[in-house]
Amino acid sequence: MVESYMDNPRSIILMVVSADQQLANQVVTNLATEADPKRDRTIGLPTKPDTLDGQDKPTLTREFLDRALNKVHLSQKGWYVVRNRSHNEQGMSFEDPDAHEAERGSY
C-alpha cells in the first residue's frame, strides 16, 4: 500500500530516517529512490540527532550533517531535522532558558 502511494507522481514522499543509523541501511531510502529517482518529490526528515554517539559517531555525524545540508542524497524539497524533547526535558516550558540551551546544544 505504501509503495503505491509513493509511486503516485502527485504524492510527496516524506522520507523519515534515523540520524543514528547509516542511510544505506534504512529500507525507506531504497523505496524512495525507486519511486522518485530524481528526488523531485522527496523530503528528507532525519530524526534523533541528539542520539549520535558511540564508536560510529564521527561517521554518522558527518553523514547526518551532509544530509541536513543537502550535500548528499540531494533532494529538491530539502532535508528538515527533527529533534524531540528527551525524557528529562518533557517538563520544561518553551520559556525555560534551559530548554532553549538544550536545543541550541543539539545543533
The predicted-structure confidence for 24-36, as pLDDT tens digits, reads as follows: 888 998 999 999 9
The predicted-structure confidence for 52-106, as pLDDT tens digits, reads as follows: 666 666 666 777 777 777 776 667 788 877 767 666 766 766 666 665 565 565 5
Domain-wise residue ranges, the chain: 2-83
Q: What is the mean pLDDT of residues 26-50?
A: 89
Distance set, CA 29 to CA 45, 55, 67, 69 (Å): 11, 23, 12, 17
Cα distance between residue 35 and residue 94, in whole Å: 39
Whether pLDDT at 107 is above 80: no
Residue 48: its pLDDT value, please? 78
Q: Which residues, in sequence order, are CB contacts of 57 under 8 Å at separation 6+?
A: none
21 secondary structure, DSSP code: S
